[in-house]
Structure 1
Amino acid sequence: MNIVVIGATGMAGSAIVADAASRGHHVTAVSRGGQGTDTVHDHDHVTAVALDVAATDATDHLTRILADADADIDAVVLAVRPAPGSEHLMASMTAAVLDAAGRAGIRVVVVGGSAPLRSPDDPDRLVIDDTRYIPEAWRPIAGASLDQFRVCLEHPRARWTYLSPPAVFAPGEDTGGYRRGTTTLLTDEHGQSRVTPADLALAVVDEIEEPGDDPHITVVGR
């Protein structure tokens, strides 16, 4: 398969590039500087491309990237996380990617945030409003992910899947697997809601290889 990963040098993006390449997929690794990662250097079928998704002409540039690829693109993964203070850019960056992918008829997997999920013991409450999972310090990026999810819901053309990580997405001991859910936050047997980049990447590439019917999914470490 041919996969474009936007945000390829970030914590999520680099893990997704590595997992996809390890399965033999051809990956176009897009980042603002276009710099290579260890994965780019280690795999012949990973190509680094520069693109600032926050630029005003990002849709046009991405449209050209999708058209100029060596083979038809099967999926685009959006895995960007704005720096603190730039959270407001999340919605416009997502819209730019959905616009370009929609023009090309390419499916998008958006690696977003947990804010749009339902609280596990209160289905009427969003996770963004549950301080057990999103403390006050995390609300700016959580709010941005909620705006991002709404952009997906309102887009008129694009085919997308929104993947919400659990409450904590951070390096740690990989489990080599994950549990998959839909619109409600998942926790493990200890009540923790977390996943590592490598375990999340497994879920993203699995979703690309065998797309499900649910537009909004979530995972937690096994």
Structure 2
Amino acid sequence: MNIIVFGATGDVGSRIVSEALARNHSVTAVVRKETQIDTLPPSASGRVADVTNTEQVSELMTGHDLAISALRPPDGQEEILVELTKSVLTASAKTGVRALIVGGAASLKVPDLGQHTVLTAPGFLPADVVPIAQACQAQFELFSTEIDADWTYLCPPAMLMPGERTGQYRTGTDALVVDADGNSAIAMEDFAVAMIDEAQTARHRKERFTVAY
């Protein structure tokens, strides 16, 4: 499969690139700055792009089997996440290339708290992550109106951190996946596994899903 990854040097994006390459997919890795090209795996094809430029994104996306957006805005610029995601979805619709989006956990319901989500549950989020959670909620709301692109939106659990690849995870739909102790977590390495599994199986077309241990 010929995959293009936007946000290819981020914490999650870099692991998605590595997982795709390990499964012998061809990867075009898109970054914001020329200096980031040197940090990519040698077997990835690096490209520099301004993802807010939808025409540029469309040109890069053309000819690929699949696009993955692992874009995250810099601290203090969280609001541009919606614009970046719109650009990828518009390019996806224009080119006919399926788009997998790395989302956030903000919109997921918290078990045993009724209709409260990660964003709305009182005291659930530390204050410093509220801005990106609000941006991820706005990002998710795009998909209630997005009808042209062939998309999948993958939400992380409450805790997403560097770790060891096990190849194991459980899936859910609109609520946090938790273990017997109420924990909701996954290593970034296994989140990447779930993303490339979805790339290969297309089990959640035009759906949101989530993963955790």
TM bucket, shorter chain: over 0.9
List gaps (5 residues or longer) in structure 1. Answer: none
The equivalent of 1:63 in structure 2 is 58
CA contact (8 A) 2:92 2:98 kept: yes
- Comparing 82-91 with 173-182, greater Cα deviation is found at 173-182
Per the TM alignment, residue 50 of structure 1 is displaced from its structure 2 partner at its CA by 0.4
Which of these residues, 211, 218, 221, is aligned with residue 210 of structure 2? 218
- Alpha carbons 1:167, 1:194 under 8 Å: kept: yes
State yes or no: 1:109 paired with 2:100: yes
Aligned residues of 1:99 and 1:158 also touching (Cα < 8 A) = yes
Superposition RMSD in Å: 1.6
Alignment equivalent of 1:191, drawn from 171, 182, 185: 182
Distance 1:50 1:39, change over 3 A: closer
The answer to whether the 8 Å contact 2:61/2:97 transfers is no
How many correspondences in the alignment?
A: 211
Which of 77, 101, 115 is the matching residue for 2:68? 77
Any idea what the Cα deviations from partners look like across 1:46-102, whole Å, max 9, x if unmatched?
A: 20110122x4xx1000111123xxxx3121111011111100100011000100111
1:153 Cα deviation (Å)? 2.2
Is 2:110–2:176's contact at 8 Å kept on the other side of the alignment?
yes
Please show how residues 18-97 of structure 1 align to structure 2 within 5 Å: 18-34=18-34, 35-36=36-37, 39-41=40-42, 43=43, 46-53=44-51, 55=52, 58-67=53-62, 72-97=63-88
- Structure 1 residue matching 2:28: 3-state secondary structure: strand
Between 175-184 and 101-110, report the one with greater CA deviation. 175-184
Deviation beyond 6 Å, 4+ runs, structure 1: none
Q: What CA distance in whole angstroms lies between the structure 1 residues aligned with 2:192 and 2:123?
A: 25
Deviations 1:19-48 (A, max 9, x none): 00000001110110142365521x2xx201
Percent of aligned positions that are identical: 37
Structure 2 spans left out of the alignment, 5+ residues? none
Whether the 8 Å CA contact 2:100–2:152 is kept in 1: the answer is yes
Q: TM-score, normalised by structure 2?
A: 0.93
CA distance in 1, matches of 2:40, 2:133: 29
| 1:59 partner letter | T
Report the 3-state secondary structure (helix = DSSP H, G, I; strand = E; otherwise coil) of the residue aligned with 2:132.
helix
When residues 133 and 172 of structure 1 are mapped into structure 2, their CA distance, relative to the original with a 3 A threshold, is: farther
Counterpart secondary structure, 2:30: strand
Cα distance in 2 for partners of 1:203, 1:195 equals: 10
Q: Report the Cα offset of residue 190 of structure 1.
A: 2.7
